[in-house]
Amino acid sequence: MPYKEHNGPLAKWWLRLVMWRERHIKEKNFLIILALVVGVLCGCMALVLKGLIHAISHLLTAHLSQTSANWAYLVFPMIGIIIVTLFVRYIVKDNISHGVTKVLYAISRHKSRLKAHNMYTSVVASSITIGFGGSVGAEGPIVYTGAAIGSNIGQAFRLSPRILMLLVGCGAAAGIAGIFRAPIAGMLFTLEVLMIDLTGATVMPLLISSITAATVAYIAEGYSAEFFFTQSEEFFTSKIPYVILLGVFCGFVSLYFTRVLWKMESMFGRIRSRILKICAGGAILAILIFLFPPLYGEGYASINHLLDGNTSSIVAGSFFYVDRNSVWFIAMYIGLIVLTKVFATSATNGAGGVGGTFAPSLYVGAMAGFVFAYTLNNLDIGIEISNKNFALMGMAGVMSGVMHAPLMAIFLTAEMTGGYNLFLPLLIVSTLSYGTIKIFEPYSIYTMRLAKRGELLTHQKDKAVLTLLKIDNVIETDCSRVSPDMSLKEMVDVIARSHRNLFPVVGGGGELKGVVLLDDIRNIMFRSDLYHKMHVHKFMSMPPARIDIHDTMDEVMKKFDRTNAWNLPVVDGDKYVGFVSKSKIFNSYRRVLRHYIDD
């Protein structure tokens, strides 16, 4: 729990502990200790989340038939969404969806501070969502949980926002490492997706957290890979042209996934009725799972089937089980799963479920890679390509495109499958997929929501610092106000009492009418014959631009650059708020920049 000022004996003891740490343990050394603690806790939470999901799913589906349609698929997802909606509304009383985006927002706008309940509420909600069939992943929630653990531990020891940011990254990396047993991918997730810079001060804590969480997972679950994959066909360079085609194909699949997910999310966002959201999303999800049972839950079992070359299991439990031996039916069936998975994912979250898009991108990638190779092989192209290998490459390709994280996709795929012998084709597919989607979509599904609001922290130092700045902190309110009907004599009296050279002209309702610059009236301010003839409304001028109180600092700087002004008024609608000056922004910018890059 974050430290708070209380007078109880426990609070006093904790305060003494915090003060003792500040005196005796250097911050850099203490950060290493906390990174280790965060890694252990996040590894344990990853195990709890996986255990809950598997327990609920097994309890509900163990008795279902594998050779015929299961009508229970129409009921389970809706029940899970209703339970989660009630849990979030009446117990959590906070929005816990879109976990990775929330972490990015906390880093950009809330000084890396996350609420204490985020350390466990996402685990509970996502385990129910996925266990009851929600077609989402557990990785977004575990990232949210891990980041909250790191943030709250840092808050408890009263650490600076810069260290909190790093602990948030440690928690996120440990969450990924713990749930996938992939420590390198966990660290790369923090660097590429959360966009925390790789410096001498960040690499060691991130590695320690990731390795510790993965070690906890290995101790509890054994040293086998997350997905069972055996490379039965050797990869030859003659197949590189098909690998290149797969990379471009995965890029377009990633673009389709991203665009549809965004459109569906926007559609559900426009629905105001909670009941209507549950009914619409639950109905879409239930029907899709009923028609395509592999869409149930995370879908990791289906990925294992594809990596094992077992295609008949994909159609098990559906209306279409009887057609399992038809080559073109299997290709069409898996192709439809690729197209519909994104609808199932967005319907789950839109209806009120809690889950991420991490696992769905892996799932779609495996299916896309498999159907790509499977179709080419049955077209008699003159060369046999491995369905299993291309399914593995597809996982890296689609994840790279959707997450905009090619390095993480490469290492995650290799670490969780043991497919290191395919490192070269994984590099090719991930790079080409990322390059393809970048042409059409500059942001990942996580960063898109914040980028559209100008709240995204990036690796570009200039934009990152502007994002960390808040307009509230640079507004100056010490300019004396004048009214439009004020005489020149009264204006001169105001000037005599003021230490500024600009004056906002404000109407009776507080609206900004214009500004008066001292330089503009210097030639008449000492002419006593004009004192009662001239009024403010005659010599005031309109500012070259107005800054809205809700503008981002990036938009503010663009207005300054466009107008070449040194001071601009800030308004809330039409109401005058204050002024922003370049000098105040530059001073704040330098202060934040020093703090941001300080190692």
445 versus 41: the higher-pLDDT residue is 41
Task: State the first-to-last Cα distance of the chain, in angstroms, to the nearest integer.
Answer: 27
Radius of gyration of the chain (CA): 29
3-state secondary structure of 551: coil
Q: How confident is the model at residue 3 (pLDDT cuts 50, 70, 90)?
A: very low
Of the ranges 89-98, 134-143, 549-558, which one carries the lowest mean pLDDT score? 549-558
Q: What's the pLDDT at 231?
A: 73
Q: Are 32 and 208 in contact (CB under 8 A)?
A: yes
Q: How confident is the model at residue 473 (pLDDT cuts 50, 70, 90)?
A: confident
Q: Is residue 121 over pLDDT 70?
A: yes
355 versus 234: the higher-pLDDT residue is 355
Q: What's the pLDDT at 599?
A: 45
Of the ranges 140-149, 205-214, 232-241, 445-454, which one carries the lowest mean pLDDT score? 445-454
Q: Is residue 463 over pLDDT 70?
A: no
3-state secondary structure of 557: helix
> How far apart are alpha carbons 161 and 149 in whole angstroms?
15
Q: Note the pLDDT tens digit of each residue in 321-363.
A: 555 557 778 888 889 999 999 999 999 999 999 998 888 999 9
Q: What's the pLDDT at 38?
A: 97
List of long-range contacts for 497-503, beta carbons under 8 Å, 24+ apart = 502/567, 502/579, 503/479
**DSSP string covering 521-532:** HTTTTT-GGGTT
3-state secondary structure of 567: strand
Q: What's the pLDDT at 396?
A: 95
Of the ranges 148-152, 199-203, 205-209, 343-347, which one carries the lowest mean pLDDT score? 199-203
Q: What's the pLDDT at 73?
A: 76
> How far apart are alpha carbons 215 and 349 in whole angstroms?
31
Angle, vertex CA 137, rays to CA 134 and CA 138, nearest 5: 110
* Pair of tokens at residue 572: 């809330």
Q: Note the pLDDT tens digit of each residue in 525-556.
A: 878 888 788 888 888 888 889 988 888 777 88
Q: Are 555 and 580 in contact (CB under 8 A)?
A: no
Q: Is residue 566 over pLDDT 50?
A: yes
Q: What is the mean pLDDT of the chain?
A: 85
Entry pTM: 0.77
User: What b/e readout covers 182-191, taking b as 16+ CB neighbours within 10 angstroms?
Assistant: bbbbbbbbbb
Q: What's the pLDDT at 9?
A: 78
Q: Is residue 440 over pLDDT 50?
A: yes
- Kindly state which CATH superfamily the domain 9-221 is placed in: Clc chloride channel (1.10.3080.10)
Q: What's the pLDDT at 188?
A: 92
> How far apart are alpha carbons 459 and 368 in whole angstroms?
31
Average pLDDT, stretch 61-78?
Answer: 73
Of 275, 248, 280, nearest to 264 (Cα)?
A: 280
Pick the CATH number of 237-458 from 3.90.230.10, 3.40.50.1980, 3.40.50.300, 1.10.3080.10: 1.10.3080.10
**What H or E segment, with its residue span, contains residue 519?**
helix 518-521
Of 552, 588, 583, nearest to 567 (Cα)?
A: 583
Amino acid present at 285: L
502, β-bridge pairs: 517
Separation in Å, CA 531 to CA 489, 495, 499, 503: 5, 14, 21, 18
Q: Is residue 135 over pLDDT 50?
A: yes
CATH class given for the domain over 464-597: alpha beta
**What H or E segment, with its residue span, contains residue 548?**
strand 547-548
Q: Are 139 and 354 in contact (CB under 8 A)?
A: no
Most confident of 286-290, 579-583, 593-597: 286-290
> How far apart are alpha carbons 419 and 229 in whole angstroms?
7
**DSSP string covering 45-100:** HHHHHHHHHHHHHHHHHTTS-SSS--GGGGTHHHHHHHHHHHIIIIII-S---SHH
Place of tokens 């996350």: 114
Q: Where are the domains of the chain?
A: 9-221, 237-458, 464-597
Phi, psi of 63 (to 5 degrees): -95, 0
Phi, psi of 476 (to 5 degrees): -105, 130
Angle, vertex CA 145, rays to CA 28 and CA 343, nearest 5: 135
Q: What's the pLDDT at 70?
A: 66
> How far apart are alpha carbons 444 and 447 in whole angstroms?
5
Q: Note the pLDDT tens digit of each residue in 475-516.
A: 888 888 989 888 888 888 888 888 888 899 998 888 998 998
Share of the chain above pLDDT 90, in %: 39
Share of the chain above pLDDT 70, in %: 89
**DSSP string covering 127-158:** HHHHHTT-S-BSHHHHHHHHHHHHHHHHHHTT
Bin 309: left if φ > 0, else alpha if -120 < ψ < 50, else beta: left
Q: What's the pLDDT at 434?
A: 95
Q: Are 370 and 334 in contact (CB under 8 A)?
A: yes
Other residues' Cβ atoms within 10 Å of the Cβ of residue 536: 22
> How far apart are alpha carbons 193 and 458 in whole angstroms?
10
Return the axis-axis angle of helices 387-403 and 240-269, rounded to nearest 10°: 50
> How far apart are alpha carbons 187 and 407 in whole angstroms?
10
For 382-529, list the strands marked E by DSSP: 475-476, 502-506, 512-517
Amino acid present at 249: F
Q: Is residue 1 over pLDDT 50?
A: no
Q: Is residue 319 over pLDDT 90?
A: no
β-strands 547-548, 567-572 pairing? parallel
Most confident of 45-49, 93-97, 233-237, 532-536: 45-49
Of the ranges 74-88, 223-237, 482-496, 557-571, which one carries the lowest mean pLDDT score? 223-237
- Per CATH, 9-221 and 237-458 having the same topology is answered yes
> How far apart are alpha carbons 515 and 548 in whole angstroms?
16
Separation in Å, CA 400 to CA 139, 228, 235, 448, 460: 15, 21, 21, 15, 21
Q: Note the pLDDT tens digit of each residue in 10-64.
A: 878 888 888 888 888 888 889 999 999 999 999 999 999 999 999 998 888 877 6
* Pair of tokens at residue 161: 């926002």
